[in-house]
Amino acid sequence: MKGEPIVILLVEDDPAHTEIIKRTFEESRLANRLTAVEDGQAALDYLHRKGKYHDDVNFPMPNLVLLDLRLPKVDGLEVLKIIKSDTKLNSIPVVILTTSSAEADMVKAYEWHANSYLVKPVDFTQFNKLMNTFGYYWVVWNQYPHDA
């Protein structure tokens, strides 16, 4: 496990947030590889290996998807729905990471088989703590099938 970093696909439209998440992962020094796309459509294209995402070296298939809900073009929930409906993709854990703590969003996310639902804390410490915990959990402890 150690030798093979966990590939995480981050779907986040806000470049500031992408920066924050990248930074927390860097600081945690966990063996992982974070790839970011900024809208839903791009995420789907990535997963479906469409266009430039056909390149397995630069865009390897992720072990985990970190998905924001409010996305341009294709909404986060829609992306979730498509992933979980696709037998080739539905084994990939999808963790929702969003600013929305709306009940409706949570319910819908779990209905569509989101593996976890995390709300971005406004507080810096909290955000850091969350990302560390997330890292340990999903990168260190969580086990992924080899041929995912």
Residues of the shown chain interacting with another protein in the complex, contacts defined by CB under 8 A: 13-14, 16-17, 19-20, 23, 38-39, 69-75, 98-102, 104-105, 120-125, 127-128
Return the structure tokens found at 85: 């409906």
Instruction: Kindly tell me which of 13 and 86 has the beta carbon lying closer to another protein.
Output: 13
Whether residue 68 contacts residue 76, with contact meaning beta carbons closer than 8 Å, is answered with yes
Block residue for tokens 């998905």: 67
Which residue's CB is nearer to another protein, number 60 or number 121? 121
From the CB of 22, what's the least distance to another protein, in Å? 12
Per the listing, tokens 């997963």 go with 47
Shortest Cβ 7–another protein spacing (Å): 22
| Shortest distance in whole angstroms from residue 142 CB to another protein | 25
89 with 83: CB under 8 angstroms?
yes
Q: CB 91 → another protein: shortest distance, Å?
A: 26
Q: Which lies closer to another protein via its Cβ, residue 6 or residue 38?
A: 38
Q: What share of the chain is helix, strand, coil (3-state, %, to 5)?
A: 45, 15, 40
